[in-house]
Amino acid sequence: MSAILEVKTTVEGFRLWPAALDAQTQADLVDAVLARLGEGPFYRPQTPGGRPFSVKMSNFGPLGWVSDRGGYRYQATHPQTGRAWPDIPPVLLALWDATVGGPRRPDACLVNLYRQGAKMGLHQDKDEADLGAPVLSVSLGDAAMFRIGPAQGGRTTGLKLESGDVCALTGPARLARHGIDRVMEGSSRLIPGGGRLNLTLRVAGLSPR
């Protein structure tokens, strides 16, 4: 992984590396994602209240984030196929080491696909066993407006995330509220069939002992 440059943001603990991935790395990463989707296809989860998400999801790694009538949780198998999730693409683990690093590598990678007006409401990532470990996010394809604000609520800030941008919720921002307001459809040609892919790497499970 070549040196990547971090920029300061107004939210303490929210870290942003604009254009962290060059065009070739982005294309290779899309290929790595597509190659794994046969084994772990996209599906549309439901909220605990029974409403379908507008975003389609899959996961890579030992654990995957799922949502259904039973609530939010991590589990080792795909809810529709019953199979283990595909492995996390190695380039993402290298990116983790080059950015947030730390004592544990991620054991979960949520894959979000935004097409046809899909967006994601303000939420906190708090289903992980260790809320001290950072969450790292990679954006690919169409640009999107990301919104972030304090954990306890209050004023939020919007910023544009473009293909190849990497950001992280760390330290005081780990439980920040955040979401995707809008995707600029057609702003990128990276993803076959169009849209935006977001990959979020997490330390989800208990540390092995």
Give Cα 49 distance to the centre of its chain: 22
Q: Per CB under 5 A, does 125 bind Fe ion?
A: yes
Among 20, 180, 191, 204, binds ligand MD6 (CB under 6 A): 180
Least distance to ligand MD6, CB of residue 143, Å: 11
Q: Per CB under 5 A, does 128 bind Fe ion?
A: no
Q: Per CB under 5 A, does 142 bind Fe ion?
A: no
- The rounded distance, in Å, linking the Cα atoms of 19 and 165 is 5
Which tokens hold the place of 36?
Answer: 């794994």
Q: Give the chain's largest Cα–Cα span.
A: 47
Strand order in the sheet with 120-123: 120-123, 177-183, 144-149, 157-161
Quick one: 63 or 135, whose CB is closer to ligand MD6?
135
CB 122 within 8 A of CB 149: yes
Quick one: 28 or 182, whose CB is closer to ligand MD6?
182
CB 191 within 8 A of CB 143: no
Instruction: Sketch the per residue contact string, 106 through 145, with ligand MD6: x for CB under 6 A, - otherwise.
Output: ------x-------x----x---------x-x--------
CB 121 within 8 A of CB 177: no
Q: Per CB under 6 A, does 188 bind ligand MD6?
A: no
Binding site residues, Fe ion, CB under 5 A:
125
Binding site residues, ligand MD6, CB under 6 A:
112, 120, 125, 135, 137, 146, 167, 169, 178, 180, 198, 200
